[in-house]
Structure 1
Amino acid sequence: MVKREMSAQVRVRLLPSARCLFDEPVQVKVAGLKSRQVVTLRARSTDDKGVVFSSSATYRADGSGEVNLDRDPSLSGSYVGVEPMGLLWSMRADIMHKRFQKTSPLNAHVVNFSVHEEEGGKLAEATNERRLIRDGVTRVPVKDGNIRGVLFTPPGGGPFPAVLDLYTFGGGLSEKRASLLASRGFLVLTVALYGHGDLPKNITEIHLDYFEEAIEFLKKQDKIGSKGVGVISLSKSGDLALSIASFLPNIEAVVWINGCSANTALPLYYKQRLILPALMFDFKKAIPTESGAIISKYSMHDPLEEENKATLVPIERATGRFLFVASEDDLNWDSKAYMDEMVERLKRHGRENFESVSYPGAGHYLEPPYGPYCPSSFHGVAGKPVLWGGEPRSHAAAEVHLWKKIQEFFRTHLSCDFSPTKAKL
């Protein structure tokens, strides 16, 4: 039925290929339209939870009846202006407060692009298969001692730099970032803390020993090329990454994205001894909004107040390199202030083992690029939806820039010679 409605001469082309990795741009071109014809382009996808995401933008064809998203501006719709990947990052869920979920890297992010007449009739369509894992990357679920996670190994003999991915503090496991890093040549272990497999549903304390075990597991892998490991984090796992770098050996490079400078929410133990108490929050300070989501940015207690200073992670002890990344419009918490405090503290200690980058107009959830921007979603700790902040276009641009920067940082600072060191505790 649909086929009969569609125009035989109009076609959508996805270049260089309709199949690509999730983090690769694709060029969208439409040909066979009438000269100067106004059409609407739509993108639609369903995530692993069955939530539908969609976007649309209106374009005017050139004199030859062509639309090229690399060149032509959107006149109206989900975004305006020249945005080659706008149809992807501007996709919104059809239900409020839903974040795009890709839980298994074995399922591609399938996006349907379609072209429609002003009256709505469909003229042509094409499907973009955006894969999260490159051919040849192996994915092995890990159940080793206390560790629960997934190990991704790039194709080939290696050796490869090794990275521990602490994706998020939410229960369960996310494999998207780990599988994409492995597709880019890194040996990556992503681990769950709770809410996955036989792990407890909830936890009341965190033990650094768990991450030490994960690092030892990574270092035993045949294809590891770095003498130490890298750690990549986001949000609450940011302070865990800082603690790993400050208290454990063999940590060469840490990426901290929109985290806190203090140990938050749960006390941190090592060898059954409390090493950092928890910085807590007061949700009475959260700001309600009309959408039903709250702004939690000002809910954390101040880690610099005298009674909270014991929660600060002693990053001045770390020997590895830090890449601090803060979104200036993070509404989850004040990432930029935490980053500035850490930079100032390291300088005060005469340390130069860090670099920092901040992104104006970006929100809390900085992810691999070209996924749908998420304005708000349910927050497990708050027990309700929160606003993540950010302006979609600026946020999307930040993700593209940061993804390249992360890979360069790890390639530069994960060395490839081996000499064991002792724990610093």
Structure 2
Amino acid sequence: MHSIELMRMSIGMACAVALLLAGCSAHHEAPGPRITATPDGVSIAIPVDVVVEGLAAGDAVRVWARTYDRRGQAWESSGEFVTDGVGQVDLSTAASTGGTYTGVDPHGLFWSMRLADDQPVPYPMMDADDVVVRLGVDTGGVTVASTTLRRVVRDPAGQVLPVAEAGLVGDLYLPPGSGVWPGVLLLGGGEGGRPDPAYASLLAAQGYVVFGLAYFGLPGLPDSLARIPVEYGLSAARWLADRPEVSGDRVGVVGTAKGAEYGLLLASSEPSRFAAVVAHAPSDVVWPAPGSTAGTPVSSWTRADDDVPFLRWVSSRGASSAAAGQAVQSAESYEQAVEAASRWRLAAARVHVEQITGPVLFTSGQADGVWPSAPQAQRALSSIEAGGNPYGARLLEFPGAGHLVGGVPDLPTTRTAIPYGPAVVEAGGDPAATAAAVRETFAATVELLRTAMPRGRVQ
């Protein structure tokens, strides 16, 4: 028995030593290359950390990203890096020396995604539900690790209800859960149709009932942005405030470009209806209907069936180049129109923003190629300050940014030519500067709405 017990003890010790050695060996074994992106499956407004690990120190690597739009077209980006002393690349601190962006930018892989030159850009650019991105790392031209990242735009628990009643056309975006929430009227720009569903969905996910109002370019609505009644937008605001899901009798309005012009006109026409105003790339004056300069120009808007006074253009905004399919910058024509106008004409066409009784946020890019939104926003801000709005106004002006400073953050900003009716207009701006502006304007928009609007109540 004694010898048998000794034998068992020897075998047990041998096994323990073997396990210990195996464990130590596994502990010292170098892990394989890997790339991680966190957090996964959360709002696209939340920043992402992308880290490459498990490589040799000083390795030259290429980190890439790829996603697809709703047409199935591939958008791709990349950055070139050198791993640090422990074989890592942290995109929040590491500088890209090549690829589609350079320098330190944790958002670089997302905004710098590019589409092949011969492929059209869809509108909206990405699916409204989520954006699925494939990320990978290459060494020596070979992909050694990859992962998938899902960035949520529309909360899956939210709802989207088509609206075609009371003479209104659009979509109602509801936050997750049941209860009452602040209401926001969302107005798109000169592209017409429904406002960007991705932007509407993302705002709704922040806790707002968003009414994406179409005001031309759909069945039952005018074909073009000409003589749109102010009463149409005001009735949409009242309809939204009367919804059982909406708290309070005042709503917010968020508009982009011509939608910002429309939103400012609405809020100054019926100030008691609007609790907050956000105007991306706005105008302080009313401009004529796009394309109406060939004959007798008409206003973009009407009040009581009469044209709202507008400022005439000096030129035809590069119509010949646009007809040839070339993107044109039209901002100079707007600037010339303001410079050539008499003080009386400017006063007649001015939007009376000083009548707005809620807080206002203006956002603009100094390199706007569509129209001079920066000086237009500055003039509107000055009018509000002179008028003594008790809630005040704020202007976020971005050097180097183009026309598209409002919307969903971290979507590609590399395509700056946008369809605008029959023309293709150059939005202008540096893609990196525009992307940074969008991130800041989205955060500022949500901050303003949360400060100004009554809190929602979940039931």
Does residue 188 (structure 1) correspond to residue 179 (structure 2)? The answer is no
Q: How many residues align?
A: 406
CA distance, structure 1, for counterparts of residue 112 and residue 128 of structure 2: 24
CA distance, structure 2, for counterparts of residue 254 and residue 279 of structure 1: 26
* Alpha-carbon offset, residue 243 of structure 1: 0.6
Could you say which residue in structure 2 is the equivalent of 1:324?
Answer: 362
Q: Is the 8 A contact 1:230 1:253 kept in 2?
A: yes
Q: Given residue 176 of structure 1, which amino acid in structure 2 is its aligned partner?
A: A
CA distance, structure 1, for counterparts of residue 305 and residue 423 of structure 2: 33
Q: Is the 8 A contact 1:194 1:200 kept in 2?
A: yes
* Alpha-carbon offset, residue 350 of structure 1: 3.8
Could you say which residue in structure 2 is the equivalent of 1:276?
Answer: 309
Q: Given residue 133 of structure 1, which amino acid in structure 2 is its aligned partner?
A: R
Give SS of 1:313's match. Answer: coil
* Alpha-carbon offset, residue 75 of structure 1: 1.9
Q: Is the 8 A contact 2:57 2:87 kept in 1?
A: yes
Does residue 393 (structure 1) correspond to residue 432 (structure 2)? The answer is yes
CA distance, structure 2, for counterparts of residue 224 and residue 389 of structure 1: 38
CA distance, structure 2, for counterparts of residue 388 and residue 103 of structure 1: 15
Bigger shift: 320-329 or 344-353? 344-353
Q: Is the 8 A contact 1:288 1:295 kept in 2?
A: no
For residue 214 of structure 1, the aligned residue among 214, 236, 246 is 236
CA distance, structure 2, for counterparts of residue 265 and residue 275 of structure 1: 9
Deviations along 1:324-354, whole A, 9 cap, x unmatched? 1121121211111111212222333344532
Structure 1's 152 and 355: CA in aligned 2 closer, same or farther, altered over 3 A? same
Q: Given residue 82 of structure 1, which amino acid in structure 2 is its aligned partner?
A: V
Does residue 27 (structure 1) correspond to residue 49 (structure 2)? The answer is yes
For residue 337 of structure 1, the aligned residue among 375, 379, 382 is 375
Does residue 312 (structure 1) correspond to residue 334 (structure 2)? The answer is no
Could you say which residue in structure 2 is the equivalent of 1:147?
Answer: 168
Could you say which residue in structure 2 is the equivalent of 1:296?
Answer: 330
Could you say which residue in structure 2 is the equivalent of 1:348?
Answer: 386
Give SS of 2:81's match. Answer: strand
Could you say which residue in structure 2 is the equivalent of 1:156?
Answer: 177
Deviations along 1:236-271, whole A, 9 cap, x unmatched? 111101110111241111101112111123322233
* Alpha-carbon offset, residue 309 of structure 1: 3.4
Could you say which residue in structure 2 is the equivalent of 1:369?
Answer: 409
For residue 37 of structure 2, the aligned residue among 3, 6, 14 is 14
- Which segments of 5 or more consecutive residues in structure 1 lack a partner in the other structure? 1-7, 418-425
For residue 75 of structure 1, the aligned residue among 97, 100, 108 is 97
CA distance, structure 2, for counterparts of residue 103 and residue 146 of structure 1: 29
- Which segments of 5 or more consecutive residues in structure 2 lack a partner in the other structure? 1-30, 290-298
Bigger shift: 223-232 or 302-311? 302-311
Structure with higher helix content: 2
Bigger shift: 43-52 or 166-175? 43-52
Does residue 110 (structure 1) correspond to residue 132 (structure 2)? The answer is yes
Q: Is the 8 A contact 2:61 2:139 kept in 1?
A: yes
* Alpha-carbon offset, residue 20 of structure 1: 2.4
CA distance, structure 1, for counterparts of residue 94 and residue 122 of structure 2: 27
Structure 1's 277 and 50: CA in aligned 2 closer, same or farther, altered over 3 A? same
Structure 1's 103 and 63: CA in aligned 2 closer, same or farther, altered over 3 A? closer
Could you say which residue in structure 2 is the equivalent of 1:86?
Answer: 108
CA distance, structure 2, for counterparts of residue 61 and residue 186 of structure 1: 43
Could you say which residue in structure 2 is the equivalent of 1:380?
Answer: 420
Structure 1's 172 and 262: CA in aligned 2 closer, same or farther, altered over 3 A? same
Give SS of 2:331's match. Answer: coil
CA distance, structure 1, for counterparts of residue 89 and residue 126 of structure 2: 34
Question: Which TM-score applies when normalising by structure 2?
Answer: 0.81
CA distance, structure 2, for counterparts of residue 16 and residue 63 of structure 1: 25
* Alpha-carbon offset, residue 226 of structure 1: 3.2
Question: Which TM-score applies when normalising by structure 1?
Answer: 0.88
CA distance, structure 1, for counterparts of residue 37 and residue 191 of structure 2: 35
Structure 1's 87 and 113: CA in aligned 2 closer, same or farther, altered over 3 A? same
CA distance, structure 2, for counterparts of residue 255 and residue 106 of structure 1: 21
* Alpha-carbon offset, residue 284 of structure 1: 5.2
Structure 1's 281 and 12: CA in aligned 2 closer, same or farther, altered over 3 A? farther
CA distance, structure 1, for counterparts of residue 114 and residue 183 of structure 2: 34
Q: Given residue 211 of structure 2, which amino acid in structure 1 is its aligned partner?
A: L
Q: Given residue 401 of structure 2, which amino acid in structure 1 is its aligned partner?
A: A
Does residue 237 (structure 1) correspond to residue 271 (structure 2)? The answer is no
Deviations along 1:374-402, whole A, 9 cap, x unmatched? 44223324x34322122222222222221
Give SS of 1:243's match. Answer: helix
